[in-house]
């Protein structure tokens, strides 16, 4: 479904990586590894279409990205919290769904927040939550926005033991349901299987 | 279209949670226009003559106040990235943000202008023309300003740079906006001024979201 | 040729300040600008040469 | 059949042009520019000497403005060049944006200071003309006002490019700004003109006041050509510096220094 070939990227004059290629099918996931500054985040940004590649191509269902299909079936969570501090977790979920043009009923949104352990905090402004809880609000989007490909950049950072286990479970369930994931991390991830890509 | 409305709603909701930001621009407009009579003297004939220019320049500067924040907040917390990757076209979301900016920073000025115009001894029909000209002109300011805001996103000294980029482009709006009221006071027909403002608005509505989107994609790279 | 003397030429019929002020500014800026551009080019070249020399020295000390 | 062939030929030419721009690498452009610069300097000198000769020794004294009108021989070429360079800059910028060529962005960046200089010269000489003719250094005349705005547009372009560290991003942002500027310049010009007539501005005009003698026209044209050649020579010098600055870590630059 996702095929990447000959991808190259440079920052300024420095070449980060060249000739990166991989393919992901249903139920598979890719673990992107590499030292600090190796270009993991740059690869993620190329992959989702935020920045253009120097060379190479990325295809989703055989079509070059970023296609409309790709945008609809992919979700990217990066370093940023990407949540609005002045809004409540529930409002955040609703608004991102509305911007994405995705229908979201109250029940699904609440269920997602509860699954992420945010019971009782649905109506507090995100501003008063802890860093880990903010991450959890962001991760709740994985459950409210139906996507096939999950692209998660350092998603396990700032999470406590429970949340790491929870996210591992979410990813495993997603894969079991036929989804795909591309993850970056320094540490070993609590998700079984997976291809490895070392930059 | 739904995505556009959703963006408008979102930005207004966010602004309402932080009322101070909107109120600052409006308060600035009020205080700047009130300062001029204090600096120039209370002579009604002179005040009446300079009123259109002052109200328009003040409106220009107040819309400029809200511009740096137009995309900066979303850029900082990563929501702008999410918008760029959203299944909805980025151009629509950007258009929504521009509409929201006008509703928050432009419309209040249009509504306040007649009241402030009273300070300058403008009569009812002149106030009407002033309001109409601002109604056509302020969306134009938001549209052009959005391009500047996107170009200076995340750039050193962005605020000052934004003013340098955007103010020269505001000149036609200023000329025809203030010109309409002046022409009316001088007893001339204002149809030409207003239709030119409308034409520029149409042109900007067509091109500005496109240019803004392109600039945002460059800023996100 | 309608100038009777050099003095008359420089007097420009009483417009000396304005005519020479304009032409002078043009000449001045159009001399300064190329010099600045040239200096910028020379500066880059200089720093590139320095870098190359440093590379060579580095290389020599490494091998010897 | 013939039309079809010509059409195909056209496509072929435009495609090869696109290919040429795409592969007009800084590497091949740098020595090419170096070879062209002396020729443009020579042309600028020849046209300049001829133009100055006409402007001071051939062109007759103006009946209304005396010798003061001779300022047009630098004022008009500077104004023309300031507008023309903006168009050329926008053209390179658009090309860079559309085809993602590296040299075009550098050209746009190299042209901006020269364009700003021309706008500044136009304003300066306009003021020196205005003082004896209007009795004031600055008059809100339509041409002078739009020239001032053009000068601001140049400053904005240069400030934006200087403020962005990543050269590729600077090029693209500058390109968008230049294109927005190009769309706006006619609007600005006509609005300022209208504003000017509405407010009963000065009616004397620098370019129209003297009954334009044939020799005056020749003088202006030659001076304009000199300014044009000068602009090309300076811009090429600057683009060479920019090429070396941006490509300093590449292999070819190391060998390009003789």
User: Which DSSP string do the residues of D25-48 spell out, in sequence order?
Assistant: -HHHHHHHHHHHHHHHHHHHHHHH
Are the beta carbons of D247 and D168 closer than 8 angstroms? no
Contact residues on chain D for A12, CB-CB shorter than 8 A: 166
Contact residues on chain B for D198, CB-CB shorter than 8 A: 179, 182-183
B199 compared with D255, residue with greater pLDDT: B199
Mean pLDDT of C2-8: 80
The residue segments making up the domain with residue A184 are 2-198
Residue B40 pLDDT: 87
Please answer yes or no on whether B183 and D169 come within 8 Å at the CB atom.
no
Taking CA–CA distances from D61, the nearest residue in chain C reads C2
Mean pLDDT of B123-146: 94
Mean pLDDT of A145-151: 91
Please tell me the total count of domains within chain A.
Answer: 1
Please tell me the total count of domains within chain C.
Answer: 1
- Lowest-pLDDT range, A57-61, B55-59, B139-143? A57-61
In a domain, C32, yes or no: yes
Chain A neighbors (3+ CB pairs < 8 Å)? B, D
The residue segments making up the domain with residue B109 are 2-220
Q: Is any Cβ of chain D less than 8 angstroms from the Cβ of C32?
A: no
Q: Which residue among D149, D173, D195 sits closest to B151, beta carbon to beta carbon? A: D173
> With pLDDT > 70 as the criterion, what percentage of chain C qualifies?
94
Please answer yes or no on whether C1 and D57 come within 8 Å at the CB atom.
yes
In a domain, C3, yes or no: no
Q: Say yes or no to pLDDT of A135 above 60.
A: yes
B98 compared with D32, residue with greater pLDDT: B98
Strand partners, D185: none
Are the beta carbons of A1 and A148 closer than 8 angstroms? yes
Encode pLDDT of C23-51 as tens digits.
Answer: 999 999 999 999 999 999 999 999 988 88
Chains C, D: CB pairs < 8 Å: 91
Q: Is any Cβ of chain B less than 8 angstroms from the Cβ of D149?
A: yes
The conformation of residue B103, written as its DSSP 8-state character, comes to I
Q: Say yes or no to pLDDT of A161 above 90.
A: no
Name the pLDDT band for C1 (thresholds 50, 70, 90): low
Residue D121 pLDDT: 95
Question: Which of B53, B143, B147, B151 to probe the D interface (max D CBs under 10 A)?
Answer: B151
Residue A13 pLDDT: 67
How many angstroms from the chain centroid is the CA of residue B163?
13
Cis peptide before D247 (omega within 30 of 0): no
Contact residues on chain D for C56, CB-CB shorter than 8 A: none
Q: Say yes or no to pLDDT of B82 above 80.
A: yes
Q: Say yes or no to pLDDT of B161 above 60.
A: yes
CA distance C13 to A71: 73
Distance from CA of D130 to the nearest CA of C (A): 9
Mean pLDDT taken over chain A: 87
Residue B21 pLDDT: 79
CA distance D43 to D40: 5
How many other β-carbons are positioned within 10 Å of the β-carbon of residue A79?
13
Least Cα distance to B131 among B73, B190, B173, B177 occurs for B177
State which residues of chain D have pLDDT below 50. 1-3, 5, 201-204, 209-210
Residue D22 pLDDT: 56
Instruction: Say if C and A touch: at least 3 Cβ pairs within 8 Å.
Output: no
Please answer yes or no on whether C9 and D56 come within 8 Å at the CB atom.
yes
Please tell me the total count of domains within chain B.
Answer: 1
What residues does each domain of chain D span? Answer: 29-60+68-256
CATH number at residue A143: 3.40.50.300
- Lowest-pLDDT range, A168-177, B50-59, B102-111, D61-70? D61-70
Taking CA–CA distances from C52, the nearest residue in chain D reads D254
How many angstroms from the chain centroid is the CA of residue A32?
13
Least Cα distance to B67 among B17, B3, B142, B5 occurs for B142
Name the pLDDT band for A35 (thresholds 50, 70, 90): confident
Is the complex ipTM higher than 0.90? no
Rg of chain A, C-alpha, whole Å: 17
Contact residues on chain A for B77, CB-CB shorter than 8 A: 80-85
Distance from CA of D159 to the nearest CA of B (A): 7
Contacts 24+ apart (CB under 8 A), B181-185: B181/B51, B181/B52, B181/B55, B181/B122, B181/B126, B181/B129, B181/B130, B181/B133, B182/B52, B182/B53, B182/D198, B183/D198, B184/B125, B184/B126, B184/B129, B185/B48, B185/B49, B185/B52, B185/B122, B185/B126
Contact residues on chain D for C25, CB-CB shorter than 8 A: 121, 124-125, 128
CA dist list (Å): B125 to B116, B185, D111: 14, 9, 49
Question: Which of B145, B150, B168 to probe the D interface (max D CBs under 10 A)?
Answer: B168
Q: Say yes or no to pLDDT of B132 above 70.
A: yes
The conformation of residue B162, written as its DSSP 8-state character, comes to H
The residue segments making up the domain with residue C28 are 21-63
Name the pLDDT band for B141 (thresholds 50, 70, 90): very high
Q: Is any Cβ of chain D less than 8 angstroms from the Cβ of A120?
A: no
- Report the alpha-carbon angle D75-D78-D81, nearest 5: 150
B153 compared with A188, residue with greater pLDDT: B153
Tokens 């300070």, located at residue:
B119
D64 compared with A78, residue with greater pLDDT: A78
Please answer yes or no on whether B200 and D187 come within 8 Å at the CB atom.
yes
């Amino acid at each position: 479904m996702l095929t990447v070939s000959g991808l190259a990227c440079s920052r300024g004059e420095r070449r980060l990586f060249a000739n990166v290629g991989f393919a992901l099918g249903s139920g598979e996931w890719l673990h992107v590894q590499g030292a600090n500054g190796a270009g993991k985040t740059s690869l993620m940004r190329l992959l989702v279409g935020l920045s253009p590649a120097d060379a190479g191509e990325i295809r989703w269902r055989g079509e070059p990205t970023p296609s409309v299909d790709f945008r609809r079936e992919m979700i990217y969570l990066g370093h940023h919290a990407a949540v609005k501090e002045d809004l409540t977790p529930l409002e955040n979920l609703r608004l991102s769904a509305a911007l994405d043009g995705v229908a979201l009923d109250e029940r699904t949104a609440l269920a997602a927040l509860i699954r992420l352990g945010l019971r009782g905090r649905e109506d507090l402004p995100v501003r008063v939550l802890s860093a880990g809880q903010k991450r959890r609000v962001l991760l709740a989007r994985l459950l409210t926005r139906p996507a096939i490909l999950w692209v998660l950049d350092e998603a396990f950072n700032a999470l406590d033991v429970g949340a790491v286990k929870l996210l591992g479970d979410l990813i495993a369930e997603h894969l079991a349901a036929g989804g795909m994931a591309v993850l970056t991390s320094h540490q070993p991830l609590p998700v079984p299987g997976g291809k490895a890509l070392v930059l | 279209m739904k995505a556009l409305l959703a963006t408008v709603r979102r930005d207004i909701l966010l602004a309402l949670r932080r009322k101070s930001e909107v109120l600052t621009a409006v308060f600035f407009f009020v205080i700047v226009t009130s300062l001029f009579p204090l600096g120039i003297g209370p002579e009604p004939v002179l005040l009446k003559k300079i009123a259109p220019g002052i109200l328009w320049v003040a409106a220009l500067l107040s819309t400029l106040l809200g511009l740096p924040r137009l995309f900066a907040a979303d850029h900082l917390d990563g929501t702008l990235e999410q918008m760029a990757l959203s299944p909805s076209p980025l151009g629509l979301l950007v258009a929504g943000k521009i509409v929201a900016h006008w509703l928050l920073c432009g419309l209040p000025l249009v509504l306040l202008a007649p009241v402030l115009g009273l300070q300058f001894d403008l009569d009812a029909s002149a106030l009407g023309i002033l309001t109409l000209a601002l109604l056509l002109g302020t969306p134009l300011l938001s549209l052009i300003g959005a391009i500047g805001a996107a170009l200076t996103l995340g750039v050193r000294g962005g605020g000052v740079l934004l003013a340098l980029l955007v103010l020269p482009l505001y000149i036609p709006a200023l000329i025809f906006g203030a010109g309409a009221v002046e022409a009316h006071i001088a007893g001339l027909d204002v149809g030409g001024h207003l239709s030119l403002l409308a034409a520029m608005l149409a042109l900007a509505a067509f091109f500005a979201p496109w240019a803004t989107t392109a600039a945002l994609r460059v800023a996100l790279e | 040729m309608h100038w009777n003397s050099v003095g008359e030429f420089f007097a420009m019929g009483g417009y000396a300040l304005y005519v020479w002020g304009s032409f002078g500014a043009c000449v001045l800026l159009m001399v300064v600008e190329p010099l600045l551009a040239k200096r910028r080019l020379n500066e880059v070249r200089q720093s590139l040469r320095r870098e190359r020399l440093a590379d060579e020295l580095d290389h020599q000390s490494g091998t010897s | 059949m013939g039309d079809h062939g010509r059409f195909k030929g056209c496509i072929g030419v435009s495609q090869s042009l696109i290919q040429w721009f795409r592969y007009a690498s800084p590497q091949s452009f740098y020595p090419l520019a170096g070879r062209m610069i002396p020729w443009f300097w020579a042309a600028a000198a020849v046209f300049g000497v001829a133009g100055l000769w006409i402007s001071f020794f051939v062109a007759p004294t103006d009946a209304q403005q005396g010798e003061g009108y001779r300022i047009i021989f630098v004022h008009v070429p500077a104004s023309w060049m300031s507008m023309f360079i903006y168009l050329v800059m926008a053209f390179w910028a658009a090309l860079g944006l559309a085809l993602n060529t590296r040299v075009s962005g550098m050209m746009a960046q190299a042209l901006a200071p020269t364009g700003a200089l021309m706008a500044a010269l136009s304003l300066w000489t306009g003021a020196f003309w205005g003082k004896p003719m209007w009795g004031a250094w600055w008059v809100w005349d339509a041409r002078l006002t739009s020239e001032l705005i053009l000068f601001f547009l140049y400053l904005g372009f240069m400030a934006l490019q200087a403020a962005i560290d990543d050269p590729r991003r600077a090029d693209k942002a500058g390109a968008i700004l230049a294109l927005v500027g190009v769309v706006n310049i006619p609007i600005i010009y006509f609005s300022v003109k209208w504003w000017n007539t509405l407010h009963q501005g000065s009616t004397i005009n620098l370019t129209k006041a003297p009954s334009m003698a044939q020799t005056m026209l020749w003088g202006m044209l030659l001076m304009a050509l000199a300014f044009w050649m000068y602009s090309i020579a300076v811009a090429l010098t600057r683009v060479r510096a920019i090429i070396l600055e941006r490509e300093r870590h590449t292999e070819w630059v190391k060998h390009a220094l003789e």
